[in-house]
Structure 1
Amino acid sequence: MDTSPSAGLAAVRRVDYRGDGLVESDLAASPFLQAQAWIDAALAAADERDDVPEPTAISVATVDESGAPDVRTVLMRFFDERGPGFVTNLESAKSRELQADPRVAAALTWPAIYRAIRFRGRAELVGRDEVEAYFDSRPYGSRLSAWASDQSRPAADRAELERRWQEALERFPDTGSDHDVPVPDFWGGWRVVCDEVEFWAGRSNRLHDRIVFRRTGEGTLADPDAWTRQRLQP
């Protein structure tokens, strides 16, 4: 039996990460400022090139009722000094898992620009006013889908999803108003209240930069006094 690293792969693809790196002298004073700078750079890259298609795609890891890890990718819809956040059905698998155990990890990854940010902490619900403001900004069809989908529940086939969407369409006709589709009671958002934020920057020869901020006191991501920072070996 072939147990070599390339077993099962047609070829091993190797890329030398020629990123800008991250040195302490260029690091922002707080994890919020550093993360915001990188998020802004990723958004700008998405406007200029084709290989950063979803710059706010964030992987969210939880644990299920048995303690097994679970992960999925969603879109980050909130980011401020309180932490990153996303929206979802509050009866979805991720929401049920976070209600039972709020420990959470999340990661923004931009392979094309050789950067990633890892967040670790606990999840808390996003305020209803923020959820409603975001929901009203969504395209009409996306608002309908929030009603049509029993997220994470089984579906018989694609036709069932299309039927449920059509029912929502008939229930909430498009009037051109931001308020023609109400926010479902079962729909909301989660925010990661961080205890740790790590910045990864790819470098040549796999000698990458990793700098982590760890919480040492009270305060938001924007409060430098609430955090210490340390370089980690790659």
Structure 2
Amino acid sequence: MDATSLSGLRRSYEGEPLLEANVAADPIAQFAVWFQEALDAALPEPNAMVVATASAGGRPSARTVLLKGYDEHGFVFYSNYESRKGRDLAENPRASLLFPWHPIRRQVRVEGTVVRLPHERTAEYFNSRPYGSRIGAWASRQSAVVRSREDLDDRYEELAERWPERPPVPDFWGGYLVVPTEVEFWQGQLDRMHDRLRYRRGHPGWVLERLAP
């Protein structure tokens, strides 16, 4: 089979220059600026991020997950501990995040170590979710094989009958904090001369470096 050429999909990028003198000293502060600009640009799902993990044996996998918060400590998302990503993180507690903000010709890439959030914080978030999402967390053993859609729906209905108002927090579900060791900001530019600024955790503080595109 001949390879399919995608040369017709070439495009040019042009954005405001990303200069060292114009960015925050801390990557979380810089992320806050760019995230607000993504919100202001009305991007669809600006908090959608690709989360990449790897097993202890180095087998990689990636999926899109929603960022549910960030602060000076790092980036937060929630998942089933028994899912593939949960198993990967139990074996190899490191992850990479990617925010693909294509319409504004930007992306942010994060690398870091991963820790589980305390149960109290998981419970606070879980109980703030819509009722259907809470039942769904119980009904779906994420990444497990299911016989049919009907079986999945039947499980949902069974659990909704069991907990018609306030389902408890599942012990197999909770939050993760990605503690960044590197954060890279990418701004598209003409002729593939893109701007790439990387914050690398130093001792102490952060080291800001420009990378070749």
| TM-score range normalised by the length of the shorter chain | over 0.9
Any stretches of 5+ residues in structure 1 without a counterpart?
47-51, 175-179, 218-224
Whole-Å separation in 2 of the counterparts to 1:187 and 1:106: 20
How many residue pairs get aligned? The number is 213
Whole-Å separation in 2 of the counterparts to 1:195 and 1:10: 35
Q: 1:193 to 1:24 in 2, by over 3 A?
A: same
Normalised TM-score (structure 1): 0.86
Whole-Å separation in 2 of the counterparts to 1:100 and 1:116: 28
Question: What corresponds to 1:109 in structure 2?
Answer: 100
Whole-Å separation in 2 of the counterparts to 1:127 and 1:233: 39
Letter in 1 for 2:10: R
SS in 1 for 2:9: coil
Question: What corresponds to 1:34 in structure 2?
Answer: 30
Letter in 2 for 1:68: R
Question: What corresponds to 1:146 in structure 2?
Answer: 137
Whole-Å separation in 2 of the counterparts to 1:9 and 1:185: 48
Whole-Å separation in 2 of the counterparts to 1:208 and 1:140: 44
1:62 and 2:41 are equivalent in the alignment: no
Tell me, yes or no, if the aligned pair for 2:80 and 2:173 is still in contact at 8 Å.
Answer: yes
Letter in 1 for 2:169: V
The list of structure 1 runs, each at least 4 consecutive aligned residues, that deviate by more than 4 angstroms after superposition, is: none
**Aligned 1:67-216 pairs, distance under 5 A:** 67-174=58-165, 180-216=166-202
How far does residue 79 in structure 1 lie from its aligned partner after superposition?
Answer: 0.7
How far does residue 26 in structure 1 lie from its aligned partner after superposition?
Answer: 1.2
How far does residue 44 in structure 1 lie from its aligned partner after superposition?
Answer: 2.2
Question: What corresponds to 2:211 in structure 1?
Answer: 232
How far does residue 112 in structure 1 lie from its aligned partner after superposition?
Answer: 0.6
Instruction: Give per-residue Cα distances to partners, 1:83-116, cap 9 Å, x unaligned.
Output: 1111001111111111111121111110011111
Normalised TM-score (structure 2): 0.94
Whole-Å separation in 2 of the counterparts to 1:117 and 1:11: 25
How far does residue 212 in structure 1 lie from its aligned partner after superposition?
Answer: 0.3
Whole-Å separation in 1 of the counterparts to 2:6 and 2:176: 40
SS in 1 for 2:45: coil
Instruction: Give per-residue Cα distances to partners, 1:187-230, cap 9 Å, x unaligned.
Output: 1011111111111111122111000000112xxxxxxx511101
Any stretches of 5+ residues in structure 2 without a counterpart?
none
How far does residue 9 in structure 1 lie from its aligned partner after superposition?
Answer: 4.3
Instruction: Give per-residue Cα distances to partners, 1:18-42, cap 9 Å, x unaligned.
Output: 2223111211111111011111111
Instruction: Give per-residue Cα distances to partners, 1:154-178, cap 9 Å, x unaligned.
Output: 011111111111112111114xxxx
Letter in 1 for 2:63: R
Q: 1:231 to 1:186 in 2, by over 3 A?
A: same
Instruction: Give per-residue Cα distances to partners, 1:127-174, cap 9 Å, x unaligned.
Output: 222211111121111111001000110011111111111112111114
SS in 2 for 1:168: helix
Tell me, yes or no, if the aligned pair for 2:48 and 2:66 is still in contact at 8 Å.
Answer: yes
How far does residue 11 in structure 1 lie from its aligned partner after superposition?
Answer: 6.1
Question: What corresponds to 2:16 in structure 1?
Answer: 20
Q: Give aligned-pair identity as a percent.
A: 45
